[in-house]
Structure formats: structure tokens, C-alpha cells
Structure 1
């Protein structure tokens, strides 16, 4: 194993934590590795919401290019940032054991939710779900890496900001004063890390596939196919969560209007054995089609027109 696996990563603290996690796991298996840090457009442009930049996979595109031109061998991503359609020549090789998928509200002090207040998030999904539950609140845009967003919360007159709990826990910056939003359906694949490699790179595909967690792969595949079928990308308020509980896969998904006034939700349960043995289309696709047939198609059209 003299070959060195060059691991591409963004240079934020969280991205480096994720890449170093993969690095240590590969080295434990006897592989030699090195990190190659690359800045992404999403890290450089902090004054516009993601959906306004009009780029799918804004945090992953730079690493895709680095892999395709031979600068790096593999890349490690927060899976929720990865487009559902990977670039030609790049394939998913492993999903690591998933951390918590929960969203949390980081607060400055106790909040009276019955009163008007200001909450920050850069996510259309979080914004729509928040306004659906609290239509009398205001939601402002929040961009930047985890540390930057926490600092912005401190520096502004907001009551709180919404984060993915997994990211804050991973780099040990989870504030004590936070609240779990158990009513908020997370982004598809939230809390999961994914490794991608070149399709024709047998060595690195085999090496990284040893890190794959089958439970996480099943659940994130269902969620991402739900997202792909709805054609949401990162520009629509779409949530999805699949969990394996005992011998069943429990799925719930949602689609909201941008202002949170409209809500479409769907839930389904299927035995794991039935899911693995079925020749029918994937659960994520079938529930998304059902949602589209029950108002989702019209709502997606409204969202796309509003974001043009």
C-alpha cells in the first residue's frame, strides 16, 4: 500500500474534522493518506443566500474539479451539501455512520415564542418550517461556516439561529443554551458524511468502500431519491428523514412553500427485508411521486418561478 490517497476537503474547521476522520480510519486500515485543502465558492461568497448564487453543489464543485483534473483522489463532504446527481465520472463510495440529523436553535436567552422575534438561517427549508410554525416571527439570512455563524449570532440582535446539531458537536462548539427542534424535518442526508471517488479509480473505490455503513447508506439513499424526484436540489424547502427502527424503515418527508404557509407532508413505513428484496422503485421515489400528485407539482412550479 505505497500509494498515497490524497483526500480533498474544504478548509473550514468542520470540513477538516470530517476529512481527518476519514484520514484516520483509512490509516487504521493500513493506507497512506494526505489532506489537500481547497476553498469553495460557497466559502468565499458570504453576502448572498445560497439559492441566489444559482449553483448546484456550491460547496462540492471545486473539489469535483480537483478530482477530475487529478489534484485529489477522493473527497469528503457533508452529504446534505452534495447534489443528488454527481458529475460524470464521480461516484459515491461510502457513507459513514450517521450522526444525529436534528436541527437545533441556538439561543441567547429564554425565548417567548408567542412574541415577535428574529431568527437566523441560510436554509429555505428551515425558514419555511419556522414561519409555518411561527408566522409572526421574522427570519433573516445567515451564511458562513459554523464558527462564523455563531459569531454573527453573538454580534446581532437576533433571538436565535438554527444549526445542524451534528456539525456543532463534531467540532465541540455546541452551546449549552440550545433547543432541539424535534418538530423540524431535517435536510435529506443531514448528519451524514459521504466519500466520493473517480468511477475508474479501482484502488480508491475499494479502499474507501471499507468505511461504508449500510444502515446510513440505505436511509440517505431513500432521502436523496425523495429530494431528486421532487427536483428540489438546494433551492426548495424540502425535508426528509428515513430511520431504521427495529425491523422497519420509517420515512417522513415534507415540502413547504417559501413563506411557510403551504405544507405538504407524507409518511411511510416498510419492513427492511421487503425494502431490500423488492424489485419495485425505491421508497424515496414512490413517496415523492405521491406527493407530486397531491399538490407537490404545482407547489414546486410556484417555488421555481419565485426563485427565477
Structure 2
């Protein structure tokens, strides 16, 4: 019986799932795709923080795993929230693609006056680093966002470079330095989630890249300790254990940044605690401004 691979139906999600299927075929495994709609796909007209935040692209796939309608789920790892259901495991993390943000545009950078993104992090970073631009909300899949750019609603739009690469889209624009525009934790990484069933996890673990797992798991631990989710302008990026974390105000006019090489997960906890202690006012302010209750 083929492995049932769960995925969202967007073009990018399908490309990521097909990549996993191809890798499994190389291991001698048969697969079939199962398309599942999520709240994030169904409600594209509002920012993510208004419909439940980071987990809106994941919960329906988690439910399908628990109900045994699929055997594994393929995700952009940055979409997976810190809190995870019992009985599910990230069985494989593929080698990381580009972690960078990318401005798709035909304009010179200094001529961009309207920039599209609904990410609080990208908005704050661009307000700080590209202060001549006005930020307008933009959600939807890659095709939807590109069509709005082509219609002239925006001079440029912000996307993850990894997504463009996975769709084989070679578009004009500007790659943003991840040390200046610190990306979301786990950006550029594909994760495969399964039930804790050895018959499945033993197969999927053959896809795991240990180097990427170390960096991304350090990022996730720092994210968990800092908190804030997609509600706070928060960038976390680790490469070869060198960690950068940055918390910004919603306007991008204030920020706190820390950078250090981490030894292990315990060191990541200490690092995250240091950032949360120093940037707690920015995190609390973001929640208050967005009208979100948190402990």
C-alpha cells in the first residue's frame, strides 16, 4: 500500500510534497498525494494573527494524521507552531533551501513606494530598513500575490526566496540579507510530520538532514522560549549554530538583537531567556496593540 502524503493544495505546497514523494521513490517507496484544505487557505482576506496565527496551515493536516487518513504530512517548517499534539513527530527535516526574504519587483529598490506583505516581522523590518516604502497587506498563495503585483496594486511584494526556487520561478527583484532582514524561524525548510509509528518513522527518517535539524531545532527552541509567535515582529536565524534573534516594535523603530554561537539545546534556552528578558516590553506591546491576550 502506498504511503499517503498529506499536503495543502496550493502550487507551492504541492511542489514541496512532490519533492518528498520523489525522495521516497528513490528509497523504493510508493506514494500518493492527499490534498487537505486548511483554515489558512480558506481565509485569505485577513492577516494570520486574526485567524489563529502560525498553526492555521497545520491543524487540519495534524487532524488527518491523528485520524489515520494520511501517513505523513509535508509542511513549510516555519508554519509549524511550537505546541504540538501528542503522538505526532517531525520525522524528517530536509536540507535547508535559502532562508532569505525576496522582494519581487521590476523597480529599482529606492523607487518602490508600495510594498505588499501581511507579515508583522517583514513589515517592521521594511519600515526600519526601507523607510521610503508604504506597506500594504497581502495574503494568498504565490500565484495570487504575483497577480496582484502584475495588476499594479503594489510596486513590489515580499516572498520567501525558497518558495520561488521550489516553483522554478526566476523573477527580478532583490534578495534580502538574512543578517539584516532576519527571517522567520525555520524559513526555507521542509518538514515531514508523522505519527509516532515505527513502521513509518523508520522510512521517513532516511530523508533527515542532521545539519539542518540541529540549526532548525535550535531556532525552534529559542522561538518557544521567547514566545510571541506570528503576532510579534520576531526574526530567528541559525547557521552552523551561530544564532541571531531580533525582536522589533510593530513600527520597526525600536528593536533588540542578540547574536551568539550556541553549544546545545540548553544553551538555546538560556539564549531565548536573555532575549525575552530584554525584549519583553516589545512582545507585550505587540500583543496589546493587536488586541491579543497572552500569559
**TM-score higher than 0.5:** yes
CA contact (8 A) 1:111 1:159 kept: no
Q: Aligned residue for 1:35?
A: 33
Where in structure 2 are the equivalents of 1:34-53 lying within 5 Å? 34-53=32-51
SS of the aligned residue for 2:187 comes to coil
TM-score (norm 1): 0.90
Q: Aligned residue for 1:74?
A: 72
SS of the aligned residue for 1:228 comes to helix
Structure-2 separation of matches of 1:131 and 1:227: 23
Say whether 1:184 aligns with 2:167: no
Q: Aligned residue for 2:234?
A: 238
Give structure 1 stretches of 5+ with no counterpart: none
What's the offset of the Cα at 1:107? 1.1
Structure-2 separation of matches of 1:259 and 1:291: 19
Structure-1 separation of matches of 2:73 and 2:208: 14
> Which residue among 162, 186, 198 is the counterpart of 2:195?
198
The structure whose residues are more often helix, as a share, is: 2
CA contact (8 A) 1:38 1:63 kept: yes
User: How many residues align structurally?
Assistant: 289
Q: Aligned residue for 1:64?
A: 62
CA contact (8 A) 1:222 1:282 kept: no
> Which residue among 17, 20, 33 is the counterpart of 1:19?
17
What's the offset of the Cα at 1:55? 4.3
Give structure 2 stretches of 5+ with no counterpart: none
> Which residue among 252, 256, 266 is the counterpart of 1:282?
266
Structure-2 separation of matches of 1:91 and 1:232: 23
What's the offset of the Cα at 1:56? 4.1
Q: Aligned residue for 1:208?
A: 204
TM-score (norm 2): 0.94
Say whether 1:252 aligns with 2:235: no
- Runs (4 or more) in structure 1 with deviation over 6 Å come to none
CA contact (8 A) 2:94 2:212 kept: yes
CA contact (8 A) 1:97 1:192 kept: yes
CA contact (8 A) 1:224 1:284 kept: no
